[in-house]
């Protein structure tokens, strides 16, 4: 199956700083990438959908100025958490699909990034 990587896998940052998380599709072109937030033992909350070369679509309640998403190429999307606060500490997961392959094409998930804001 296709592989999606995330970097870093774990990051600690100080409150008020910004941190960037990368999501890469390693062996396929991802027209669309999704960013999720997962709380311990809870469901995945979709934050935003990004399409290559266009602005991301954010879900209701997600601050687009705080969670900056860029999908500059068919293999890379980045999520930047700006002015991070302790409440932003979470597990962030990306997933990727190539919609040109049709609706039944599987959505592949990255391993996730653990963000801890101190």
Residue 109 near another protein by CB under 8 A = yes
Q: Using the rule CB under 8 A, give the single segment among 14-22, 64-72, 80-88, 100-108 that binds another protein.
A: 100-108
Residue 100 touches another protein, criterion: CB under 8 A: no
End-to-end CA separation in angstroms for the chain: 37
Cβ-based neighbour number of residue 109 at 10 Å: 16
Q: Is 43 among the residues that bind another protein (CB under 8 A)?
A: yes
Which residue number, 14 or 41, has a Cβ lying nearer to another protein? 41
State yes or no: residue 14 binds another protein (CB under 8 A).
no
Which residues touch 60 (CB under 8 Å, ≥6 apart)? none
Give 20's contacts (C-beta < 8 A, 6+ positions apart). 78, 79, 80, 81
Distance CA 31, CA 82 (A): 25
- Using the minimum distance from each CB to another protein, give the nearer residue, 49 or 80: 49
Stretch that binds another protein, among 17-25, 38-46, 61-69, 71-79 (CB under 8 A): 38-46
Among 18, 99, 116, 118, indicate the residue that binds another protein (CB under 8 A).
99
């Amino acid at each position: 199956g296709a592989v999606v990587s995330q970097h870093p896998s774990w990051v600690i940052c100080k409150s008020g700083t910004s941190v960037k998380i990368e999501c890469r599709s390693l062996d396929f072109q991802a027209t669309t990438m999704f960013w999720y937030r997962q709380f311990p033992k809870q469901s995945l909350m979709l934050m935003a959908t990004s399409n290559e070369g266009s602005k991301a679509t954010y879900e209701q309640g997600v601050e687009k100025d705080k969670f900056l998403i860029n999908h500059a190429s068919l293999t890379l999307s980045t999520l930047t958490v700006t002015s991070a606060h302790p409440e932003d500490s979470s597990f962030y997961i990306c997933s990727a699909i190539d919609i040109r392959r049709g609706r039944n094409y599987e959505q592949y998930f990255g391993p996730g990034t653990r963000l801890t804001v101190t």
